[in-house]
Structure 1
């Protein structure tokens, strides 16, 4: 018996968790093996102009961020597990076409890159909805493993891509196709049935509730954007901010430290987070406020990075990672808690677009303020994005913790309906 319609109270099995990690890690590795080098590859191997190559890369990123929303009706029709498989299969085909040596105009490359982003967005959105169908403690566990897999894949992918670009550039997209083929191979072991039946629609609401976000979900999604803007100052703006103060090799070490710590600590930190969440009072409020406070401290330390040296930057990255280990899976799990009448698939698609937009705006604004701003001091104009991000993270934590005092295991905004009932048997 489950607590809510579409929710499975059983634990994720070791086989299912392994399949989730392998699929997510290999698909991320494939995407990030190509994305950082796609523009250069198109210019050097296919003669595109810099402007055209930039449009192609932008199309892949935009489709990957927003594609989940566009494909929600198709995911509902196919079912979650079939959608994950279809997404990875489509990515394999699109990457293979990119690597076949075709002579295409810029518009042709743009379409193929956009298809890569769309197919991977389809698989990611459906996979998150699969995990969200479990009970709250299992959701946090599943999203913790997914966060670990994403960081592992995004760390390994650029290494693979950089090696191939030097050794055999023409095989760059084919390596991504091979990695997505591995992800496709483990889809049968993922949670759920291939064609999950739809649960009954809420009485009196027709099907509209699956598409209309309620106020609490909108408020939650927008508040979380503050954390993502702060996140962008580290992952998207930091190389531009540090500039000549830190060598490229040392900067690579900083980001490698983040990936290693996520892989090593995500599971134990998530176990601790689950214990805090199970406390009878304000578990979410404590976690959210603490994670954003640590994030604020980390970005403040990064503000001193131009003058303080590598040691302080590494310490700041440790704090940043500890924060990320808590808030990243926690927010993903809360989407399933706070979606109201919205379908699980639509909820994760809409949240993904909002958070992707917040990261993009944060990266744009931070880069705008950092580039061509001089001064090594932490109070120089170039450090303004980091002071602003620290304040924003603190405000986000306070606002989220205040709202989190009302969070329980009961659905927010009334009885929830789910577009899919996921059958998770031990042998699936």
Structure 2
């Protein structure tokens, strides 16, 4: 029988809650990625902005989406996690609706709207991760695995929707995102947790509360910074690869490569995560070995991508299969570890800080990789600057795996009060 109390009662993640998490995350991601890849083009062609102004608007939206969780920590704790998810999606619906009203605004007007979209979606995403982190330890990896599957599904479907609308009726582009976020908003009542924040009752905070805690502990900071190496390697695939392989692999073939990634994630995330959970509990495996294996496979995939310009399309496909297998392990595993290593940070603050750090690492990796690829010495030169991001990314991934393997020999810190996943630990007044 399905029980809907979920995390707040310390019970298992129910099928209803799991379905709501997947639908909300997939729909919101599809809406964001239906607009983001085409936002600059839409602003220039349909709203008359210059290239520099359109780029500023797009960059501001991405930055707000990455860093917004940290800025909104206090507000999320005051509202509560479930209410924050609802407010985030409702705000995104309203702002996307305004974007689609056919307005003629100066650059700063579009800038404000783009930033608001990023902030509202960051609010919903951070609060949703904290909801999953509030579940019992043996259920968190499962929850984050489904979220990873939903993100990949949404980010694959979204650009297809946006591309078609851009050709058929460009004015409807933001409205499609508003409709998708409305779908996400509709399933919020089925998400885990209560609508009311834990601190609304006026009761005093317990001794050792996470209220007011701002700075991360050393263990959490070390883990978060080490994981940045994985995200730099990730950026060479998802952000730099089209520019790197542009001379040797056609656009259609490259699209198939990324479609393969999305299909494999949707098809394999659940069984791979089930295997990961068993390995985490195995006396001869555990977190360290899983991280080392996943990052070693990632490093191999990045090396194969680096060879792809001369070796051909078949090697690129093989590299994407390996890359996806590694992502299926490390992506939900890292999200789970954020909640377990947060120390005295509130759960939401921990996910917000980790999101900023990892988003910044991906951005820096993408910038450096693109810079080196654009100034490549020749299409077939493996020793020139063009392939440097791939050799460097592979080395970083392998070093990250080794470092996390060493750190994985130590047990995670217990959250405050010794109650891992306690809902009051999540909803106290210091949001993230």
Q: TM-score range with shorter-chain normalisation?
A: over 0.9
C-alpha separation in 1, matches of 2:258 and 2:125: 23
Please tell me whether residue 185 in structure 1 is matched to residue 189 in structure 2: no
CA change 1:17–1:419 in 2 (3 A) is closer
C-alpha distance after superposition, 1:357-379 (max 9, x if no partner)? 00000000111111121331433
Please tell me whether residue 396 in structure 1 is matched to residue 400 in structure 2: yes
The corresponding residue for 1:312 is 315
Is the 1:33–1:162 Cα contact (8 Å) retained in structure 2? yes
The corresponding residue for 2:50 is 49
The corresponding residue for 1:354 is 357
C-alpha distance after superposition, 1:397-424 (max 9, x if no partner)? 000011011125x51798578673679x
C-alpha distance after superposition, 1:69-127 (max 9, x if no partner)? 00110000000000000000000000000000111101000100110000000000000
Q: How does 1:322-341 map to 2 (within 5 A)?
A: 322-341=325-344
The corresponding residue for 2:166 is 165
Please tell me whether residue 285 in structure 1 is matched to residue 256 in structure 2: no
Say which SS state the counterpart of residue 420 (structure 1) adopts: helix
C-alpha separation in 2, matches of 1:79 and 1:142: 19
Say which SS state the counterpart of residue 304 (structure 1) adopts: helix
Deviation at 1:52, TM superposition (A): 0.4
Please tell me whether residue 379 in structure 1 is matched to residue 380 in structure 2: no
Please tell me whether residue 110 in structure 1 is matched to residue 111 in structure 2: yes
Is the 1:340–1:414 Cα contact (8 Å) retained in structure 2? no
The corresponding residue for 1:17 is 18
Is the 2:347–2:425 Cα contact (8 Å) retained in structure 1? no
Q: How does 1:222-233 map to 2 (within 5 A)?
A: 222-233=225-236
Say which SS state the counterpart of residue 245 (structure 1) adopts: coil
Say which SS state the counterpart of residue 18 (structure 2) adopts: helix
Deviation at 1:282, TM superposition (A): 4.7
Deviation at 1:137, TM superposition (A): 1.8
Structure 2: 5+ residue runs without aligned partners? 1-6, 428-432
C-alpha separation in 2, matches of 1:316 and 1:103: 45
Say which SS state the counterpart of residue 365 (structure 2) adopts: helix
Deviation at 1:202, TM superposition (A): 5.4
The corresponding residue for 2:409 is 405
Is the 1:343–1:419 Cα contact (8 Å) retained in structure 2? no
- Aligned CA RMSD, in angstroms, stands at 1.9
Deviation at 1:128, TM superposition (A): 0.2
The corresponding residue for 1:78 is 79
C-alpha distance after superposition, 1:140-192 (max 9, x if no partner)? 00000000000000000000000000001000000000000000000000011
Q: How does 1:83-98 map to 2 (within 5 A)?
A: 83-98=84-99
Deviation at 1:204, TM superposition (A): 5.3
Say which SS state the counterpart of residue 347 (structure 1) adopts: helix
C-alpha separation in 2, matches of 1:252 and 1:279: 38
C-alpha distance after superposition, 1:200-249 (max 9, x if no partner)? 7452567333x221000000000000000000000001111112111011
Say which SS state the counterpart of residue 208 (structure 1) adopts: coil
Aligned length: 416
Q: How does 1:230-245 map to 2 (within 5 A)?
A: 230-245=233-248
C-alpha distance after superposition, 1:235-265 (max 9, x if no partner)? 0011111121110111000000000000000
The corresponding residue for 1:426 is none
Is the 2:224–2:357 Cα contact (8 Å) retained in structure 1? yes
CA change 1:133–1:419 in 2 (3 A) is closer
C-alpha separation in 2, matches of 1:205 and 1:112: 36
Is the 1:80–1:420 Cα contact (8 Å) retained in structure 2? no
C-alpha separation in 1, matches of 2:166 and 2:297: 38
C-alpha separation in 1, matches of 2:208 and 2:320: 50
C-alpha separation in 2, matches of 1:20 and 1:377: 46
C-alpha separation in 1, matches of 2:417 and 2:342: 10
CA change 1:47–1:17 in 2 (3 A) is same
Is the 1:229–1:363 Cα contact (8 Å) retained in structure 2? yes
C-alpha separation in 2, matches of 1:380 and 1:389: 15
Structure 1: 5+ residue runs without aligned partners? 1-5, 424-428
Runs of 4+ in 1 over 3 A off after TM superposition: 6-9, 198-202, 412-423
C-alpha separation in 2, matches of 1:329 and 1:383: 29
Deviation at 1:380, TM superposition (A): 2.7
Is the 1:345–1:419 Cα contact (8 Å) retained in structure 2? no
Say which SS state the counterpart of residue 129 (structure 2) adopts: helix
Is the 2:148–2:332 Cα contact (8 Å) retained in structure 1? yes
Is the 2:288–2:407 Cα contact (8 Å) retained in structure 1? yes
